[in-house]
Amino acid sequence: MTSAVYLDANATAPLAREVMAEMMPALADFFANPSSVHKPGQDARALVDKARERCARTLGCAAGEIVFTSGGTESDTLAILGGRPRKVVTTAVEHPAVLGACASAAECVRVPVSASGALDLDALKRALPGASICSVMAANIETGVIFTMREVAAICRS
């Protein structure tokens, strides 16, 4: 029997065994709604709170700063629109979830890329004045082009 090669890990990937081992008790024993007032719900809430605290320790932040979402699209939307930005700057080649969230802002500027896929940093500089948020992917999931995030961050800070 030949083994298959899976090449779409940007869409989904196998779950690491260590992650699965951590999740199984929650999936098997704590399936109740953590917003419920009954005992199974309170037990599920305690498990969610413990996970939030563990993430916060790992990231060096407060537990209240950790927000769990159902996936990437919800996370993108919350990150981009959560502060109700007036003007959003992004790239022309962002993931559709990012572009969809940006399109809901009052103003959205899409910064172009070159024929080789590199981000036009001069266009980024011109687009930023008045922006509330700038969303730029670190690496393009379709082309593999890696954006210069240090330069992007420096431009945003200036």
Divide the 158 residues of the chain into consecutive groups of 10 and give the mean pLDDT of each group.
Answer: 73 86 88 92 94 96 94 92 92 93 93 94 96 93 90 95
Amino acid at position 86, single letter: R
pLDDT number for residue 141? 78
Helix axis angle for 96-103 and 72-81, nearest 10°, is: 30
**Half-sphere exposure in the Cβ direction for 30 (13 Å, CA):** 17
Going by the DSSP 8-state scheme, the letter that residue 65 receives in this structure is G
Whole-number Å distance between alpha carbons of 11 and 13? 7
pLDDT number for residue 1? 55
Whole-number Å distance between alpha carbons of 153 and 52? 28
pLDDT in tens, 89-121: 999 999 999 999 999 999 999 999 999 999 999
